[in-house]
Amino acid sequence: MYEGIHHVSLLVNDIERSKEFYGETLGFTESPERPAFDFPGAWYQVGSTQIHLIVHNNGKTLRGTTKIDSRDGHFAIRVSNIEAFLKRMNEKGVTLLDKPTNKTEWHQVFIADPDGNIIEFNH
C-alpha cells in the first residue's frame, strides 16, 4: 500500500539564503514543479523524494538553533560516496557531526541548514 516518502517539508525564514544552501552548498536540483503558492518557498528533487522549503515565520517547527544534535528530529539522505560528500561540505565550510563508527552499519554525517533543520547523510 505504501510506496515511499513523496516529500519532506521544512520551515525556513529566508528563502534566498535557503536556496543558496540547498542549491549551491548541497548541490540539490530545484524542481520547476512548485505551483505559484501565495507564500515563498522552493522544491528540490533528491532521488525520488522532494524537499519542500516553506517560509512560515509563525510555524512551530523552527528549532531556534543551528546546534547539531543527532537525536533531535531529522531526516536522512543516502549518499553513494560519503567521502565525496565530506569533501564538498569541508570545501563549503559546513559545520558537521561526523560519525563514521556508531551503532548502525552505516557512516553517518549530520549537518544543520541555516534555520537549524537537521539532515543526516549516510552511506
Could you tell me the mean pLDDT of each successive run of 10 residues in the chain, 123 residues long? 94 97 97 96 96 93 94 96 98 97 94 97 97
Q: What DSSP designation does 55 have?
A: E
pLDDT at site 57:
84
Give, rounded to a whole angstrom, the gap between the first and last alpha carbons of the chain: 27
pLDDT at site 70:
95
Q: What DSSP designation does 51 have?
A: E
Q: What whole-number distance in Å separates Cα of residue 3 and Cα of residue 58?
A: 32
pTM reported for the whole predicted model: 0.94
Q: What whole-number distance in Å separates Cα of residue 87 and Cα of residue 52?
A: 26
Q: What whole-number distance in Å separates Cα of residue 76 and Cα of residue 81?
A: 15
pLDDT at site 88:
98
Asked if 114 and 99 count as a contact pair (C-beta separation under 8 A), the reply is no
pLDDT at site 58:
86
pLDDT at site 24:
97
